[in-house]
Amino acid sequence: MRFLFLLFLPLFLNSTQLKIASYNVENLFDMVNNGSEYSEYKPNQHNWTRLSLNKKIKNISEIICDVNADIIGLQEVENINALKLLQKSLRSVGCYYKYLAITHKKNSAIQVAVLSKLPIVSAKEIVVNRKLKYRNILELKYMVNNKPLFVFVNHWTSKHSAESRRIVSAKVLKSRIERLPKGTDYILIGDFNSNYNEYKNMEPQLNDSHGKTGINHILKTIVDNKLVEKKDIGKNLHYNLWLELPNFQRWSHNFYGSKQALDSIILPHSMFDGEGVDYVNESFKVIKPPYLFTKKGYINRWQYKNNRHLGKGYSDHLPIVATFSTSAYKSSKPSFQEEGKIEDLYKKELRASLKLQNVKVIFKSKHHAIIKQSKDGRAIFVYGADGLEQGRAYDIVVKKTKKYHGLHEIVNFSIVYDYGKSHIDGLFYKGKLDFSKRELENEVLKDITGIYRNNRIFIEKKAYKIYFKNKNLRPKNGSKLKLHRVQIGYYDEMQLVVWFAEDFKKVE
């Protein structure tokens, strides 16, 4: 079944519109042995046969048709032959991409490419570095209403390598776009192998650059250690479209449960200036039809198991897409904003954005947090808390909340002010533990002792359900535990939640 995505009204009065997308198709190889293939894609080995190739191409064609972009940048295409096979498959199902281009880096297993419904005025290959670990960048020039539009398709070095390698690609790209005439419209798309906020989430083993990142520092998507917002974008700065989505939706790749925004569409000031081609506000989307997911909710990637292709699946990435128009950019009307307290988020549905002043982060995991405003106030869980740090205070604007199996959560917010470090010791709950009181939900307790038995902890002869986020941490029945820190959570019922190994210890 085909799923058609109506992301915008298809007609704008007296204007031209374009949908531009990016998709990492995960290793699209042909059946010709060129010697540079990955070993598992050697023709007629590991069940990489004509039948498997046809299935892979058919599946990738399905999602490209559903995206229905005018221009779609592709990553991980072996060569021009593989690209033409995909073009032919698309044509057979009524999706016509008349124009194409691809890089030709010698001895590289994979290239970056584009399929286009618009005529390509010119296609150039930007050499990042002669070494194989660097992939070239594809530069495309279009004419839209007699004005040039440049699209740069990227696939930076993988996340298995140090950040300094991605910085090399970023510097070459930056150098090229700086040579464009002032005010030129251009769009940066592709798999950057970097999160939109990589400067805050870089893995320590990749940080050989003293915290400096290609996507944020070199391309200047941050200023004063904060991500550039649309309202603040100036010349020589860039805005990453991921910021249009709620925090919990900012991902296009799911690596064993770790959701990442490796693919991006990044825009300069000229795409918001009311001249030439402009971005259509809030049109950025991640394409997520049901068939791109397994029953367990993981991305339905191309399946390779026990050294054998199974002939099933699509890619380990999701496509991203945005809309552009020759009509002038229109910013969103500011939404009505109230000021309030965390307690208000439990009492009623949000009618408008709610500003919370001086909230303190009393708990932080990698992606989630718990915040509280005062000793006697309520606490609440923040899902997708990137940008918040434990022990700091902020003013935030809450844009969306939801209940997850009964647990109240903030799922979309923005930081409007950072007060810096704050004392949080007095904000932990020190009263009586009573699961009949729902107002204790999301509180954080410290230093309590009990006996663990059958997913319960007995404290002063009373049993409370306890859940360990890492099941391998569950102790043996009869163990005496001291909980240094524990959340009062809710999952269809009240329970204590232990997040990390250091949050408890066994005692004699």
Q: List, as one string, the DSSP characters of 35-74.
A: S-S-GGGSTTSTT--HHHHHHHHHHHHHHHHHH--SEEEE
Residue 492 domain-assigned (yes or no): yes
Q: Which residues pair with 398 in a beta bridge?
A: 354, 413
Question: Average pLDDT of 470-494?
Answer: 92
- Rounded distance, CA 72 to CA 100, Å? 10
Q: How far apart are CA 137 and CA 112, in angstroms?
A: 7
**11 lies in some domain:** no
Give the pLDDT confidence score for residue 14 in this predicted structure. Answer: 58
**Residue where a domain terminates, one of 325, 347, 368:** 325
Same domain, yes or no: 459 and 358: no
The answer on 183 and 288 residing in a single domain is yes
Last residue of a domain, one of 426, 448, 475: 426
From 426, 455, 483, the end of a domain falls on 426
Q: With both helix axes pointing from N to C terminus, report the angle between 80-92 and 50-67 in degrees, rounded to the nearest 10.
A: 60
Q: Are residues 393 and 488 in the same domain?
A: no
pLDDT value at residue 39? 94
> So what's the pLDDT on residue 331?
81
Per the structure, the complete domain to which residue 284 belongs is given by 17-325
The conformation of residue 471, written as its DSSP 8-state character, comes to G
**Pair (262, 134) in one structural domain:** yes
pLDDT value, residue 333 = 64
> Tens digits of per-residue pLDDT, 22-53?
999 999 999 999 999 999 999 999 999 999 99
The CATH number of the domain holding residue 226 is 3.60.10.10
What separation in angstroms does the CA of 28 have from each of 58, 85, 155?
A: 11, 10, 14
CATH value at residue 368: 2.40.50.140
169 vs 175: CA distance, rounded Å: 10
Q: What is the mean pLDDT of residues 439-462?
A: 92
Nearest to 103 by CA among 154, 148, 158: 154
Give the pLDDT band of residue 1 (cuts 50, 70, 90): very low
Instruction: Specify the number of domains making up the chain.
Output: 3
pLDDT digits (tens, 9 = 90+) for 186-212: 999 999 999 999 998 899 999 999 999
pLDDT score recorded for residue 349: 75
Do residues 245 and 384 share a domain? no
Checking if the pLDDT of 15 tops 80, the result is no
In the predicted model, is pLDDT for residue 506 greater than 50? yes
Whole-number Cα distances in Å, 428 to 318, 337, 377, 456, 458: 40, 29, 11, 22, 21
Q: What's the CATH number where 446 sits?
A: 2.40.50
> Tell me, what's the pLDDT at 370?
95
Which pLDDT score, from 0 to 100, does residue 334 have?
A: 59
pLDDT band at 421 (very low <50, low <70, confident <90, very high): very high
- Percent with pLDDT over 70 in the chain: 96
68-77 average pLDDT score: 97
**Confidence band of 13 (pLDDT split at 50, 70, 90):** very low
Give residue 164's Cα distance to chain centre. 21
pLDDT tier at 332, thresholds 50, 70, 90? confident
Task: Please report the sign of the dihedral spanned by the C-alpha atoms of residue 255, residue 220, residue 329, residue 21.
Answer: negative
Residues sharing a CB contact under 8 Å with residue 450, sequence separation 6 or more, in sequence order = 457, 458, 459, 464, 480, 481, 483
Residue 7, domain member (yes or no): no
Give the mean model confidence (pLDDT) for residues 465-475. 92
- The answer to whether residue 6 is domain-embedded is no
- Claim to verify: residue 218 and residue 362 sit in the same structural domain: no
Say yes or no: 405 and 441 in one domain: no
* 170, 275: one domain: yes
What is the pLDDT at residue 8?
Answer: 36
Please tell me the predicted confidence (pLDDT) of residue 258: 80
Q: How far is CA 172 from CA 185, 213, 491, in A?
A: 18, 14, 49
Q: Does one domain contain both 320 and 220?
A: yes
The reply to whether 170 and 301 lie within a common domain is yes
* Domain-embedded: residue 268: yes
Q: What is the pLDDT of residues 113-154, one digit of tens each?
A: 999 999 999 999 999 999 989 999 999 999 999 999 999 999
* pLDDT of 286 higher than 50: yes
Q: Does 330 map to a domain?
A: no
- Where would I find the beta strands (DSSP E) of 251-389? 253-255, 258-260, 263-268, 278-279, 285-286, 304-305, 308-309, 320-325, 337-340, 353-364, 368-372, 379-383
Q: Does some domain include residue 350?
A: yes
**pLDDT tens digits for range 229-278:** 988 898 899 999 999 998 888 999 987 778 899 999 999 999 999 999 99
Instruction: Tell me the β-bridge partners of 463.
Output: 458
Residues 299, 376 within the same domain: no
Mean per-residue pLDDT over the chain, rounded: 91
- The winner for highest mean pLDDT among 167-181, 226-240, 463-477 is 167-181
Strand partners, 487: 444, 497
pLDDT class of 335 with cuts at 50, 70, 90: low
The residue that leads in pLDDT, 5 or 23, is 23
Q: Are residues 198 and 80 part of one domain?
A: yes
Give the C-alpha separation, 497 to 380, whole Å.
14
359 is a domain residue: yes
